[in-house]
């Protein structure tokens, strides 16, 4: 347990100090949200209607694009070898890393959403609904991205290839995340229905992402 | 052939697309086979063999 | 045991070389019979002659999914049993699967034009197949961007398995999303129960497509084995090259 805590704390510290990636995700998110009206036009009614979708797309890209160095950095400085040979189960170790990453990049996205919702002309209730769905949905993105981060080590490639591999898998999360946000705004569907499915997807991704990432590291480092 | 009705173009185009894609696939496999055989032949001519010995 | 025999690539090359002409012949005959039956099948009372597109659209849709299933089995072969031909099978199947998925998409779109009045609607089934196509392209991109076959093979195997787990979830999500956005007012492809006069040609065409896939897959696997042989020989040659201290 203490080894896990050590990995978790180390990743948190690495993320927030100089050279760590925390904060850049939120900045990227903000820029995507700012770019959207330039592409669509400053029609406030239209922006309010597609606001949840823009916020979700921005958060999706922000949380996936920040992930490709998550394990590759460990492979370079040798700490991955220690994690692999250590007694801590690899699945738990990568899960601790993903959790630390989510706390430093996924959670800030959800926290910043009510503020960015103002730019999209969303009212308070809608903004908080989007923030709530992001809070429930971004862990799924992080843990699916964890598989991408592990494959990046196996393949010694990063960037666009991983995004291309992982993005199709995020379709269900996007569908139910945006649907739950829209349900909160328009009330056409009860909010709980898509939202509980979104939570279920997150739980499933926790399991699938963790085990697939660990398997990929085990098979890749032989 | 029976008459294809008012939408004949679309039916012919659909079958045509399938034929084109399958033909491209077959052409790729055949050309790939030739290229690999040629590379293998050249390597053998230069006397490079596998440690496990010559093929049976 | 045949599976152990086949583990030897040289023996596989020999056996598949004997099998290939017969498979190609069977595929041609099945295709000819299927096309003949499809040409003589009656028109649908609703969709007219466009129902003929179904005879290539539906079998390629079945194959598009079945090939991913086969790749998942091969992925298990790579990861669990470390069968030496498993990742060869998976790699050879990927572009063929992508090709059948593309056929499914194109024919579906060409069928949609007269039926829906537009080449593309975000119909639940077409959308799921489109995402499947993107996943095929992703695996192909993975194979193309890493030159060490065993390294790429294991990564592709894991990705294929995760994809296999995710595909039903994606299918479910897209269906749900589709009913949310457009209630079932569009004409649905192959919606009504299928009459035997259409079912028989459809099944023969499906058999023909399966035979075509098996033939192409065996040929592509042979190419892949030869490619790896060439790669090994070139590495041996490079190591033995003089003047490299």
Q: Does A147 touch chain C (CB under 8 A)?
A: yes
Residue C73 lies in a domain: yes
Q: What domain range includes position C24?
A: 8-183+195-235
Is the per-residue pLDDT at C6 higher than 70? no
With beta carbons less than 8 A apart as the criterion, state whether A83 and A93 touch. Answer: yes
User: Closest Cα of chain C to A116: distance in Å?
Assistant: 26
- Show which subunits contact B, needing at least 3 CB pairs below 8 angstroms: C
Is C240 a domain residue? Answer: no
> Is C125 domain-assigned?
yes
Neighbours of A183 (CB within 10 A): 22
Q: How far apart are CA B36 and CA B40, in angstroms?
A: 6
Verify whether the Cβ–Cβ distance C230 to B25 is below 8 Å.
no
Q: What is the CA radius of gyration of chain B?
A: 22
Of B1, B14, B25, the CB nearest to C111: B14
Q: Strand, coil or helix: what is C48?
A: strand
pLDDT at C24: 92
The predicted model scores a pTM of 0.88
- With the C-alpha atoms ordered B23, B29, B31, B32, is the resulting torsion angle positive or negative? positive
Look at A70-79, C2-11, C27-36, C91-100 and tell me which has the smallest mean pLDDT: C2-11
- Whether C contacts A, i.e. 3 or more CB pairs less than 8 A apart, is yes
Checking if the pLDDT of C188 tops 70, the result is no
| Alpha carbons B53 and C10: distance in angstroms, whole number | 12
What percent of chain B stands above pLDDT 90? Answer: 45
Choose the mutation target among C138, C170, C171 for the interface with A, i.e. most A CBs under 10 Å: C138
| Partner residue facing C162 (CB), from A147, A167, A201 | A147
Question: Angle at CA A112, nearest 5°, toward A107 and A115?
Answer: 160
pLDDT in tens, A14-59: 888 776 667 888 899 999 999 988 998 888 888 888 888 999 999 9
Residue B56: band (very low, low, confident or very high) from pLDDT cuts 50, 70, 90: very low
Token pair listed for C65: 């999914």
Say what the pLDDT of residue C187 is: 46
Whether C142 sits inside 8 A of A156 (CB atoms) is no
State residue A43's pLDDT score: 86
Residues A5, A88: Cα–Cα separation, whole Å: 11
Band of residue C40 on the pLDDT scale cut at 50, 70, 90: confident
Cα separations in angstroms, B6 against B3, B18, C47, C138: 9, 21, 11, 39
Instruction: Tell whether C48 is covered by a domain.
Output: yes
- Tell me whether A171 touches chain C (CB under 8 Å): yes
Cα separation, C198 vs C206, whole angstroms: 12
Angstrom distance (rounded) from CA C122 to CA C126: 7
Looking at CA atoms only, how far is residue C31 from chain B in angstroms?
Answer: 12
Residues in C whose CB is inside 8 Å of some CB of A read 79, 131, 134-135, 137-139, 141-142, 145-146, 151-152, 154-155, 157-159, 161-163, 165-166, 169-170, 172-174, 176-177, 180
| C-alpha–C-alpha distance, residues A181 and A123, integer Å | 12
Q: Which two tokens stand for residue A53?
A: 């979708």
Phi-psi region of C193 (alpha: psi -120 to 50; beta: other; left: phi over 0): beta
Across C147-183, b (16+ Cβ under 10 Å) vs e yields eebebbbbbbbbbbbbbbebbebbbebbebbbeeeee
Task: For residue B45, give how far its alpha carbon lies from the nearest alpha carbon of chain C (Å).
Answer: 12
Number of alpha carbons in the 13 Å side-chain half-sphere of residue A38: 5
Judging contacts by C-beta atoms under 8 Å, the chain B residues touching residue C88 are: none
B51: DSSP letter: T
Query: How many distinct structural domains can be found in chain C?
Result: 1
Residue C171 in any domain: the answer is yes
Tokens of A56: 């979700």
Distance CA A167, CA A67 (A): 13
pLDDT of residue A125: 85
Element (H, E) at A13: helix A2-16
Residues C71-102 pLDDT 10s: 999 999 988 888 888 989 999 999 999 999 99
What value of ipTM does the predicted structure carry?
0.87
pLDDT category at C199 given cuts 50, 70, 90 is confident
Show the tokens assigned to C36.
């003949």
Predicted confidence (pLDDT) per residue in A140-176, tens digit? 999 999 998 888 888 877 778 888 889 999 999 999 9
Amino acid C5: pLDDT: 54
pLDDT of residue A163: 86
| Distance from the C107 Cα atom to the nearest Cα atom in chain B, whole angstroms | 5
B34 at interface of C, judged by CB pairs closer than 8 A: no
Mean pLDDT, all residues of chain C:
84
């Amino acid at each position: 347990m203490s080894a896990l805590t050590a990995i978790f704390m180390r990743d948190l510290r690495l993320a927030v100090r100089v050279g760590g990636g925390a904060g850049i995700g939120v900045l990227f998110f903000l820029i995507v949200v700012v770019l959207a009206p330039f592409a669509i036009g400053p029609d406030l009614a239209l922006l309010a209607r597609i606001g949840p979708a823009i916020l979700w797309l921005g958060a999706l890209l922000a949380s996936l694009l920040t992930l490709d160095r998550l394990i590759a950095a460990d492979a370079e400085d040798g700490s991955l070898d220690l994690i692999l040979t250590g007694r801590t189960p690899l699945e738990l170790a990568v899960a601790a890393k993903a959790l630390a990453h989510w706390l430093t990049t996924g959670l800030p996205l959800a926290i910043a959403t009510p503020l960015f919702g103002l730019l999209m002309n969303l009212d308070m209730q809608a903004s908080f609904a989007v923030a709530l769905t992001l809070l429930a949905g971004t862990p799924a993105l992080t843990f699916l991205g964890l598989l991408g981060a592990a494959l990046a080590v196996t393949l010694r490639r990063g960037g666009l290839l991983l995004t291309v591999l992982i993005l199709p898998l995020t379709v269900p999360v996007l569908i139910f995340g945006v649907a739950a946000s829209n349900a909160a705004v328009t009330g056409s569907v009860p909010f709980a229905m898509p939202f509980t499915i979104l939570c279920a997807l997150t739980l499933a991704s926790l399991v699938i992402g963790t085990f697939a990432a660990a398997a990929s590291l085990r098979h890749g480092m032989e | 052939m029976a008459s294809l009705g008012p939408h004949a173009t679309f039916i012919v185009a659909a079958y045509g697309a399938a034929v084109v894609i399958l033909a491209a696939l077959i052409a790729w496999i055949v050309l790939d086979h030739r290229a690999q055989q040629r590379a293998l032949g050249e390597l053998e001519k230069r006397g490079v063999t596998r440690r496990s010995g010559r093929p049976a | 045991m045949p599976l152990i025999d086949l583990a030897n690539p040289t023996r596989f090359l020999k056996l598949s070389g004997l099998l290939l002409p017969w498979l190609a012949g069977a595929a041609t005959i099945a295709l000819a019979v299927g096309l003949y039956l499809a040409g003589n099948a009656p028109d649908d009372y609703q969709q007219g002659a466009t129902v003929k597109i179904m005879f290539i659209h539906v079998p390629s849709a079945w194959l598009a999914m079945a090939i991913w299933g086969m790749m998942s089995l091969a992925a298990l072969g790579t990861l669990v049993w470390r069968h030496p031909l498993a990742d060869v099978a998976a790699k050879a199947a990927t572009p063929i699967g992508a090709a059948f998925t593309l056929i499914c998409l194109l024919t579906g779109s060409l069928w949609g034009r007269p039926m829906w009045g537009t080449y593309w609607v975000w119909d639940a089934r077409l959308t799921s197949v489109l995402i499947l196509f993107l996943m095929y392209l992703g695996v192909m991109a993975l194979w193309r961007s890493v030159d060490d076959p065993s390294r790429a093979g294991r990564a592709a195997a894991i990705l294929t398995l995760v994809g296999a787990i995710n595909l039903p979830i994606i299918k479910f999500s897209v269906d749900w999303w589709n009913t949310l956005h457009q209630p079932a007012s569009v004409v649905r492809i192959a919606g009504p129960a299928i009459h035997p006069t259409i079912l028989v040609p459809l099944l023969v065409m499906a058999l023909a497509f399966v035979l075509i896939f098996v033939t192409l897959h065996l040929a592509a696997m042979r190419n892949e084995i030869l490619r790896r042989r060439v790669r090994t020989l070139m590495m041996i040659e490079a190591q033995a090259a003089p003047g490299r201290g």
